[in-house]
Amino acid sequence: MGILFEKDNFSLFVRGFVGTIELSALSALFALLLGIMLAAFRVSPVPVLRAFGTAWVTVFRNTPLTLLFFVVTFMLPRLDVHISSFTAAVAALSVYTGSFVCEVLRAGINTVPLGQAEAARSLGMGFGQTLGLVVLPQAGRAVIAPLGSVFIALPRNSAVAGAFNVFELFSVQKTWSEDSYPIFASFFWLALAYLAIGFSISSVLSLLERRMAVAR
Amino acid sequence: MTENSAGPGVPEDGRGTPLVSLRGVNKHFGALHVLQDIDLDIAQGEVVVLIGPSGSGKSTLCRTINRLETIDSGTIEVDGRPLPAEGRELARLRAQVGMVFQSFNLFAHKTVLQNVVLAQVKVGRVPKAEAEKTARELLERVGVGAQADKFPAQLSGGQQQRVAIARALAMNPKVMLFDEPTSALDPEMVNEVLEVMRSLAARGMTMVVVTHEMGFARSAANRVLFMADGRIVEQNTPEAFFTAPRSDRAKDFLSKILHH
Ligand SMILES: Nc1ncnc2c1ncn2[C@@H]1O[C@H](COP(=O)(O)OP(=O)(O)OP(=O)(O)O)[C@@H](O)[C@H]1O
Ligand SMILES: [Mg+2]
């Protein structure tokens, strides 16, 4: 277990840890924004937007994440789009996770009785106000737990980026095994790190859930 | 009777244009022809009660007036202006047409006060303090002033419906639509809601009310419209309609609801 404290392993580990957090946090942010937008599309009265939302979700929920990484890493440069490996990873993760966020939000929106939106519209609220002020806040509670599952999966999924030139936790493992450290020890520290991240996310979410339970 | 005259019981005040006007309105739900060539004029200050058997299209007719339901053909005008298509214009119009639902539909995540304030601020751009003042006055007026800081779920059905009326009134609507406002209430709460509606009528509010409350129709309505199978089959003053219905459909319907 002592490998963490040999040579400059500790700083390597910290770099990986920070890499995973940066990657996950940025992707989570974009996935959330994207998911809200896609969910709004999917419940909007405009057929073109609905079709777009449906197509997006169908394509990206059913594409293996690794394939998406291949696309952003190898296809984009061919189309003369040159972005850093990190940006590419954030793009792949956001696009992928966003489609899951969208579906969770849409399911949550469907738990809100139709009469709520009708009342909002009858008072003169537009589509955005109806969704933002009345429907989404009420979908919130139903959405927190499943949204939690999506976001807890994100740091784990981000490990794929390690295979595409992004330095994150899993790259630490690669380095260590190249340096032929015992595989058990390196896995132990990695597992601990992922566990810490996952635990933090679920703590924040259950706090949020409790806060929302009070607010009604 | 011709649909163009305002109908008996409506003061012929020569003010000309009706507040709400429907011409040749048709609507289908798939193969079902729910509204068939509806012509209807509602004068300023008039209280119209819509009755008829279940499925006759009363709710649908009511909801076309603020375009919660779209129509397939015909025209609907409110205050001399045709209903705009979906968008900002329509939202503005909806704010002028208040609607009260059978199931109250108060915003469950907002307090009673916030329910009445929200659209004033977000749609009407009224400053928050002013909106709260209006809201408290209206809540007081419908008799739920003491409940302002509770959530809807903490109120009785009758109280919730009165809040819903206050919420609609806060937008200062030109006409109010009521779709069976007392049907979801326990019997002992029906009257407190009808009382609020009567006082609204007495203040000169233009109202379209879908209800089977004959007492309300007799005491507050200027005109009763009887609908069946998507058509306005008969219309008359409440007195004349309830004592001497002309169509067989109406006779049949009244005999069912009055003796059971
Ligand atoms: N969204 C909808 N989609 C399909 N059919 C509908 C829809 N809304 C109403 N209908 C049908 O249209 C007809 C008229 O409905 P509407 O609700 O206007 O009747 P109503 O007179 O209000 O009846 P009730 O007294 O039961 O409320 C009914 O047969 C109903 O089943
Ligand atoms: Mg109805």
Encode pLDDT of A166-213 as tens digits.
888 888 888 888 887 788 888 888 888 889 988 998 898 888 888 877
Q: B residues 112-141 near A, CB within 8 Å?
A: 118-119, 122-124
Q: How many CA atoms lie within 13 A of A63 on its CB side?
A: 20
What ligand 1 atom has the least distance to the C-alpha of B56? Answer: 21
Rounded Cα distance, B160 and A170, in Å: 56
Encode pLDDT of B88-122 as tens digits.
788 888 889 999 999 999 999 999 999 999 999 99
Percent helix, strand and coil across chain B, each rounded to 5?
Answer: 40, 25, 40
Which DSSP state fits B16? -
| Residue B35: pLDDT over 80 | yes
Rounded Cα distance, A177 and A12, in Å: 13
The whole-number pLDDT of residue B14 equals 47
Domains of chain A: 15-169 (1.10.3720.10)
> Would the CB atoms of A122 and B108 count as touching at under 8 Å?
no
How does residue B26 score in pLDDT terms, banded at 50, 70 and 90? very high
Residue contacts between A and B (CB atoms, under 8 Å) = 70
Rounded Cα distance, B84 and A151, in Å: 42
Q: Which residue of chain B comes nearest to A137, CA vs CA? A: B109
Rounded Cα distance, B204 and B199, in Å: 9
Encode pLDDT of B193-237 as tens digits.
999 999 999 999 999 999 989 999 999 999 999 999 999 999 999
User: Considering only CB atoms, which chain A residues are within 8 Å of B88?
Assistant: 126
The residues of chain A scoring below 50 in pLDDT are: none
**Tokens encoding B29:** 């739900």
Q: Which residue of chain B comes nearest to A45, CA vs CA? A: B86
**Tokens encoding B174:** 């030109």
- What single string gives the DSSP state of each residue in B107-173? -TTS-HHHHHHHHHHHTT---HHHHHHHHHHHHHHTT-GGGTTS-GGGS-HHHHHHHHHHHHHTT--
Rounded Cα distance, A124 and B90, in Å: 8
> Would the CB atoms of B108 and A216 count as touching at under 8 Å?
yes
> ipTM score here?
0.89
How does residue B259 score in pLDDT terms, banded at 50, 70 and 90? low
- In this structure, the residue with its CA closest to atom 31 of ligand 1 is B55
Encode pLDDT of B144-198 as tens digits.
999 999 999 999 999 999 999 999 999 999 999 999 999 999 999 999 999 999 9
